Amino acid sequence: MGEKAGAQANIKVSVLPCQSYDSKLLDRCIAQAARDAGFPDITGKRILVKPNLLKAAAPDEAVTTHPKFVAAVLRFLWKQKAASIQIGDSPGHQNGKAVGKASGVFQAAMDGKATWVDFSPGNPRPAPEAKLVKSFKLASALDDCDLVVNLPKLKTHRLATYTGAIKNLFGLLPGLAKSSMHLRFSDKIQFGTMLVDLGLSIKNCFHFLDAIVAMQGEGPGNGEPFPLGLVFASKNAAALDWVAASTIGYDPRRIPYLVDAIQRNGLDKESPSIDTGDYTIEKNRAKGFRLLPYTAQSNASLSEIPHYLEPLALRFLAERPIFHKELCIGCSACIRICPTDALELSRLKDGKFQVRIDDRACITCYCCHEVCPVGAISIAKIVWRPSQQKKKK
Ligand code: SF4
Ligand code: SF4
């Protein structure tokens, strides 16, 4: 997660206005943000750049880190006399290079003289400060780098509520290792704790958050672009995410993994000592940013249900994926990503595709919602839907 603070430390987060992806504007902004946030001396150092390449999407869809943002960071890193720059990501169900090409990030990397790396097969790395996961299998490229430069995109997120610096590091797990984490930590609080464990295990890290055009609504894969016009930078992912989530209108004290992260960085969640210079969240809070509701960790309406029925009720009251056959193009992305094999795709007589879900197998990780390329999956509370049950083989 980068530099960890002592109990009373003042952590710096730089927040700068940047209204477009104009290269000259970006060069100035990245250099100043780095200066303000205490970017380290990287003379002769080996750098690994980690953008957000969730899935194949054009740059203006705000699904991925913008290629011009990546290009500006690469120019900055060479100017700071980096010895080498590797770049890559590991999307859950697609090839990293293919997503890089679709998003323009691969071309930006080639133009910026960085080396594209595959994160597979991954090597075990200890996480000594972890509460839950004492060792992660992470991108092999980490073994050959002195500093990770994390380039997340600011987005809403169905599972995590908000995604920025901490969540983007989850992509350091190669390919389907991410699915097994969803399976292992189907409890949303535990999943968040695992994310913080992972972040704290990456010691040398600096974060530039692309919030020039952020994603609102059905993030992280199917929301709409929102021109926020900001760049955030920090050595500390928890502090950066705290400020960024507050800026778009969330109360980070209601997002458990952000609370866990801020406390494990020695800060008080009621008034964390974060130095943002002249930037004040109150004056700059985004107006009209469409937020997702806070992810339910448990269900309040269960209070009216007898205790002995609670486990059963939880299954059917939690928010679950709803599949819209009028939009589905039958690509199977949801089937491939589902960690519990809860989905089945079939073709109907009228030629349309239908995805059936086994509600009992679904762990509400929302990975299917993230990867659907056409927004054919929504998330909603259901009570019972016998007609949607996946047919047993
Ligand atoms: S159906 Fe979707 S939300 Fe449910 S477990 Fe599978 S991927 Fe996760
Ligand atoms: S619901 Fe979406 S991801 Fe699943 S098969 Fe249909 S189009 Fe593909």
327 CA closest ligand 2 atom index:
7
Ranges for all domains in the chain classified under CATH 3.30.70.20: 300-388
- Is the model's pLDDT at 356 over the cut of 50? yes
Give the residue-averaged pLDDT of 50-70: 98
Alpha helix positions (H), 6-104: 23-36, 67-79, 96-103
The SS3 call for residue 121 is: coil
What pLDDT, on the 0 to 100 scale, is given for residue 6? 42
Instruction: Output the CA 376–ligand 2 centroid distance in Å.
Output: 6
Residues whose CB falls within 8 Å of the CB of residue 326, separated by 6 or more in sequence, listed in order:
352
Instruction: Output the CA 336–ligand 2 centroid distance in Å.
Output: 10
Report residue 301's pLDDT band, with 50, 70 and 90 as the boundaries: very low
Task: Determine the topology of domain 300-388 in CATH.
Answer: Alpha-Beta Plaits (3.30.70)
What pLDDT, on the 0 to 100 scale, is given for residue 347? 95
Taking only the tens place, the pLDDT of each residue in 265-299 is 999 999 999 999 999 999 999 999 999 999 865 44
Of 183, 314, 358, 363, the residue with max ligand 1 atoms within 8 A of its CB, to mutate for a pocket test, comes to 363
User: May I ask the CATH architecture of the domain 11-284?
Assistant: 3-Layer(aba) Sandwich (3.40)
Taking only the tens place, the pLDDT of each residue in 68-95 is 999 999 999 999 999 999 999 999 888 9
What pLDDT, on the 0 to 100 scale, is given for residue 299? 40
Give the residue-averaged pLDDT of 338-350: 95
337 CA closest ligand 1 atom index:
7
Q: Is 362 in the pocket of ligand 1 (CB under 6 A)?
A: yes
Taking only the tens place, the pLDDT of each residue in 359-382 is 878 888 999 999 999 999 999 876
- Is the model's pLDDT at 389 over the cut of 80? no
> Which residue in the block uniquely carries the two structure tokens 């900001």?
230
CA-proximal residue: ligand 1, atom 4 (nearest)? 362
- Is the model's pLDDT at 386 over the cut of 60? no
Q: Is 149 in the pocket of ligand 1 (CB under 6 A)?
A: no
Q: Which has the closest alpha carbon to 330: 370, 364, 362, 376? A: 376
Report residue 62's pLDDT band, with 50, 70 and 90 as the boundaries: very high
- Is the model's pLDDT at 2 over the cut of 70? no
Q: How far apart are CA 104 and CA 68, in angstroms?
A: 9
Ranges for all domains in the chain classified under CATH 3.40.50.11440: 11-284
- Is the model's pLDDT at 127 over the cut of 60? yes
- Is the model's pLDDT at 324 over the cut of 80? yes
Q: Is 371 in the pocket of ligand 1 (CB under 6 A)?
A: no
Q: How far apart are CA 117 and CA 110, in angstroms?
A: 12
Instruction: Output the CA 357–ligand 1 centroid distance in Å.
Output: 8
- Is the model's pLDDT at 160 over the cut of 90? yes
- Is the model's pLDDT at 346 over the cut of 80? yes
What pLDDT, on the 0 to 100 scale, is given for residue 50? 98
What pLDDT, on the 0 to 100 scale, is given for residue 393? 42
333 CA closest ligand 2 atom index:
3
Give the residue-averaged pLDDT of 311-329: 81
Of 191, 368, 370, 381, the residue with max ligand 1 atoms within 8 A of its CB, to mutate for a pocket test, comes to 368
365 CA closest ligand 1 atom index:
8
